[in-house]
Amino acid sequence: MAIDPNFDQNRERVGEEDGVAVWGPVEPPEKLGIHGTHVAVDYDICLADGACLENCPVDVFTWVDTPDHPVSELKVEPTNEDQCIDCMLCVDICPVDAIDVDASRQA
């Protein structure tokens, strides 16, 4: 199941981690929600293969630890989402469609 492209309308913003918006529900360690706004990563389906981090031309992503999450114990955080150039490479390369980039949503 891919990230909900309308998460900002369908989910509640429940806080912030490292300056990045978090959209619920969040019930660690199993449910970690969606992180980011303009560049959003669904932590519940991200398998942390690193393709987005390695291929992003402007270094939007950083690694974060997510201990005991059933899918992976690392996730990519859109820490520098304000640097995104909307090239959509991360969206295209993600094998589980865990990333959404929407220019109309601002961080």
Extract the annotated binding site.
35, 46, 52, 56, 84, 87, 90, 94
For 62, other C-beta atoms within 10 Å of its C-beta total 14
- The type of residue at 79 is T
Please choose, from the candidates 30, 24, 20, 42, the residue with its C-alpha nearest in 3D space to the C-alpha of residue 66: 30
In the annotated binding site for [3Fe-4S] cluster, the residues are: 46, 52, 94
In the annotated binding site for Zn(2+), the residues are: 35
Which helix (H) or strand (E) element contains residue 77?
strand 74-77
In the annotated binding site for [4Fe-4S] cluster, the residues are: 56, 84, 87, 90
